[in-house]
Every structure is written in C-alpha cells, then in structure tokens.
Structure 1
Amino acid sequence: MLLEVFVDADAMPRDALQTILKMAPEHGARVVTVSSIAHDVRSQEHITVDSSPQATDMKIISLIQRRGSTLVITQDYGLAALALGKGAAALSPTGLEFTDQNIDRLLLERELSAKQRRATGRSKGPKARTEADGERFRDALQRILERLSPGASR
C-alpha cells in the first residue's frame, strides 16, 4: 500500500515544504503539492487549482482514497477536520498533529478568535515561524511517516 502525502501548499512555509520533499520519499511516500494559481510551488508532483476560496482544500479532499495510508499537511483546521473524517492523518507545519481528540477544540478556538476579530476589527496576524517550530515539525513528520509507512505495525 502506497503512502501518500498531500500538501496544502498555499501557505506552507518554505522550510517545511523542503523538509517534506526530502523526508517523505525516504519513507517511500508519494508527495503531491496542491496550490492555487496565485502561488508558485515547485515540486515533482504539483496540482494547480483556480483561486476560488477552498479550491485547494476541496482538491486535496477529493484525492484522499485510502484510509490509514494518507497524510495531509496543512495549516487549515477545516481541511484537517475533513481529512481526519476521511481517515487520513493530518499535521500542521508547526508540528501539531491534528487528531479526533483535539480537532473540535481547535475549530471552536478558531471560531471564537474570528468572532473576536469581527467585534474589534483587530488581528495580530500569525506568529513568526521559529526554529523550534521547524524542529517540532521534523520530529512529528518523522513519527507519522514511520507510523503510516507500509509494513509498520498499526
């Protein structure tokens, strides 16, 4: 069974993408990046979608075929929730593994933050990516790839 890694490349940090493109093939994984036409992404297997809202997310969800042998890498909690619902693993570029146990809380926090931004009109924007984020991501990616790789005991 082939391990597949689908990358939401619309807002993927460059160092995280390079880590994925290096590590995943070492585990026999097929890596597919997906982004809208507004982003210039270079990878061996890349799919470009139109710039309509959610086009990248819907394309990735449509590509998930096999339960237990797919990893979706995204910053988007909604896409992560949909991927989990289809039996895929999901990981953020900061190293947070999305799970059935944490996704509802994360979605609720996202909604509360959006409500707060609408009420105040203020947004801090995302935190700057740190070296610790990169290390946490590499460690989590390694762990998940080992767990999902063909022949791994589940």
Structure 2
Amino acid sequence: MQIWVDADACPKVIKEILFRSTRRLPVDLTLVANRPLAIPPSPRIRSLVVASGFDVADQAIVAQLCAGDLVVTADIPLAAEVLAKGGHALSPRGERFTPDSIGERLAVRGWMEQLRASGIHSGGPPTLALTDRQAFANQLDRFLQQALRA
C-alpha cells in the first residue's frame, strides 16, 4: 500500500503527520507537486515533481495509483477519481471520502462554483484548526491500522 499526497495545497502540519507515520509503520509516501518539496531523508518518502498546469498533479496520482492506495487531497474531483479506481481518499481535515459521500460532495462543489461564477464570493475554507489536525491524524491512524492488518 502506498500513500499519495496532492502536495501543492497540503498544509505543512499534515505533511509532518504523514512523515511521522512513515517512521512508525511500513508504508511508502509520495508527495506530488509542481515544485520541489523539502522532505525528510527516508527510503519510504519521495517527492514527485510534475509540470505546472491544471490537474497535472492529479493526473499523475491517478495514473500511478493502485487499488487500495490512500490519497490525501482536498480536491473533490480527484477524490472521486481515486474512489472509482479502487483507492481511498482522505482530506487534510480528516474527512474520509467514500463512494456513498462523494456524489454529495461533488454536487456541493458544483453549486459553490456556480455561486462564484455568478459573482457571489463565499470566501475560502477556514484555516486548519487543531481539531482538524487531530481528526486527520486519527483517521489516518485508523486507516493504516486496518490496511496493515489486511
């Protein structure tokens, strides 16, 4: 099993949680971004630099993803593609995307895009709170424990 990170927008604190997890558990981690990233020296952690452009990192993740892999992303369409390919998706806020929830999340995303296109600004997501970091760490730990037992 591999963990993939849509790393361009992933908060540093979430990357740190992932780095710690790879030190404790036999899991490989790949951060995909359109620029070089600082990563700790580890045979289990690597950075994949892709070209700049719309969804280039997403396409690279989906192309290399294997069923059962985990993708950390806040990108709802990417999460949908990951689930369709048999992977698992987790947001940096600790939300586990599932086949049952992804349709609703895509619909909400589409609705918000329509609002923005019509000139209504809803603001961005709130800053990552301590509770979000804890939710992510807990969901990640739960997922990894189940995956490594299987």
| Residues 24, 145 of structure 1: 8 Å contact kept | no
Unpaired stretches in structure 1, ≥5 consecutive residues: none
Deviates more, 1:17-26 or 1:128-137: 17-26
SS of aligned partner of 1:61: helix
Residue 38 of structure 2 corresponds to residue 42 of structure 1: yes
Residues 1:79 and 2:78 aligned together: yes
Matched, 1:139 2:128: no
| Percent identity for Structure 1 against Structure 2 | 28
Deviation at 1:24, TM superposition (A): 3.3
1:27-66 C-alpha deviation (Å, 9 max, x unpaired) = 21000000012xx42224000011110000000001112x
1 CA distance for matches of 2:98 and 2:22?
20
Residues 25 and 4 (structure 1 numbering): CA distance in 2 closer, same or farther, change over 3 Å? farther
Cα distance in 2 for partners of 1:90, 1:22 equals 19
Cα offsets for 1:103-133 (capped at 9, x unmatched) = 0000000000110111124241121110000
Question: Structure 1's 24 and 101: CA in aligned 2 closer, same or farther, altered over 3 A?
Answer: farther
Select between 131-140 and 41-50 the one with higher mean Cα deviation: 41-50
The amino acid across from 1:92 in the alignment is S
Structure 2 residue identity aligned to 1:31: L
Q: TM-score, normalised by structure 2?
A: 0.92
Partner AA of 1:96 in structure 2: E
1:108 aligns with 2:84: no
| Partner SS, residue 86 of structure 2 | coil
Aligned residues: 145
RMSD: 1.2
Could you say which structure has the greater relative contact order, defined with CA pairs below 8 angstroms and 6 or more residues apart?
1
Q: Which residue of the partner structure matches residue 42 of structure 2?
A: none
**28, 31, 43: which one aligns with 1:30:** 28
The residue number in structure 2 matching 1:63 is: 64
For 1:54 and 1:36, how far apart are their aligned partners in 2?
Answer: 10
Where do 4+ consecutive residues of structure 1 move more than 3 Å?
none
Structure 2: gaps (5+ residues)? 40-44
